[in-house]
Amino acid sequence: MKQAFQYKLLPNTNQRQEIDRWLDMLKAQYNYLLADRFNWWQYNRSDCVIPQGEFCQIACSVGSQVLRNNPDWHSQSASLPQLKKDRPWYKDIYSQVLQDCVKRVKKAMNRYIQGDSKGKRSGRPRFKSKNRYRTFTYPQAKNDWLAGNRIKLPKLGLIKYICHRPIQEGFQVKTASVTKKADGYYLTLIVEDKSVTDFQPDLVPTEDNSLAIDLGLEKLYFDSNGNYVLPQKHLRKSEEKLAKLQRKLADTNRSRKAKKLIRRAIAKLHQKIARQREQWHHEEAKKLCQKAEAIFIEDLKIANLRRKNKRKKVDNKYLENGQSRKAGLNKSFSDCALAKFVKILEHQAQKLGSKIIKINPKNTSQYCWNCLNKVPKSLSDRWHNCEYCHESIDRDFNSSLLLKKVGLGVVSL
């Protein structure tokens, strides 16, 4: 079983400067290697289509570039010794950290060209600005790097950290990453205990040991026992504070130094909101996992829900597409962070030995759980009134009860 622990690092001034310098150099190297990859495509590929519908095979490179093989992880790693000769300051970075930078380029390109294990492709990788390159990784960390409240990172030396949770016996430290955040530096350790396998409980859900939850914006969830949790809306609560800071930032009379401080305050506020939300999600997920052994949830595609409305153009004019109204809804989706809650729920379930079962949510809001007749509703109808069996309950409650029935295999929609 693998776990990640994060600790606050307390580097001294020299170490802080060194970490910043490394991040800056790695960022430059990352951008250079990424550009190298893009350039190869630029110079060795042709978009012209020959009649058979295939791409024209190009045999020589366009422009003054010499024809060469597609740069990959091997060729880019092999270029590192030359880099250290041309730019000797790169010798200051620990070699494996530099190699890990090459690996990041490879990962980004693979996700762009081939996609992940499910074939879902990401967008074109971005060149990173200073604020977007914040982490470097030691891919082969050892247990003996840690001693008390200090960690010995190669080429950076002994760095103090707040050890609020010691690594337990039997855990092997795999990797160590240093991250720069809004409020300082953090150390993330990935640890593995090989004696504990990834626990997948082998239980059959029954009426008594299972629970279904219906996720939503008005209520974080409504479970099939009739309990619900209202959203905390951390972002909405801090919105006023955030707006005040952003107004200050927009004020052109302020100095550059003052603006830097305001920007830092904004970043810290966002960090606080994210942490409040995460803490709350963990608490709620833990409570749920303690209630039932099997939990049915809807298999929602939340990224699809918060997509922008499509724009339609007629006679050179854009039609009203309701995006301004949708924007408020999107903000609520982000504030609730349902996808994150599902992830945290799965994590807690694994820890506490419960099982999360995802169910296709199709039609679960449109049928009555009691008599299974169709009761059509729009999104704004919040109450379920069945004209056949006279059931009158909250719409989300109806969905969760029906979800449980579908999950247990009693009915299929």
Write out the residues near Zn ion by the rule CB under 5 A. 368, 370-371, 386, 388-389, 391
CB of 295 to Zn ion, least distance (A): 25
Cα separation, 404 vs 212, whole angstroms:
5
Nearer to Zn ion, 239 or 391 (CB): 391
CB of 123 to Zn ion, least distance (A): 45
Cβ 198 vs Cβ 166: under 8 Å:
no
CB of 383 to Zn ion, least distance (A): 13
Nearer to Zn ion, 97 or 386 (CB): 386
SS3 content of the chain, % helix, strand, coil (to 5): 40, 20, 40
Nearer to Zn ion, 63 or 376 (CB): 376
Cα separation, 31 vs 221, whole angstroms:
43
Nearer to Zn ion, 96 or 370 (CB): 370
Residue found by looking up tokens 């629970």 in the block: 211
Helices (H), 173-322: 234-250, 256-291, 302-305
Q: CB neighbours of 254 closer than 8 A, spacing ≥ 6?
A: 248, 262
Cβ 106 vs Cβ 72: under 8 Å:
yes
CB of 362 to Zn ion, least distance (A): 19
Nearer to Zn ion, 212 or 386 (CB): 386
CB of 410 to Zn ion, least distance (A): 15
Q: Looking at this protein, which amino acid is placed at residue 314?
A: V
Nearer to Zn ion, 45 or 377 (CB): 377
Residue by residue, DSSP assigns 6-63 as: EEEEE--HHHHHHHHHHHHHHHHHHHHHHHHHHHHHHHH----B-TTSSBPPP-S-ST
Nearer to Zn ion, 1 or 393 (CB): 393
Nearer to Zn ion, 295 or 401 (CB): 401
CB of 321 to Zn ion, least distance (A): 36
CB of 371 to Zn ion, least distance (A): 3
DSSP, collapsed to helix, strand or coil, labels residue 254 as coil
CB of 376 to Zn ion, least distance (A): 13
Cα separation, 380 vs 270, whole angstroms:
31
Cα separation, 353 vs 138, whole angstroms:
32
Cα separation, 83 vs 70, whole angstroms:
19
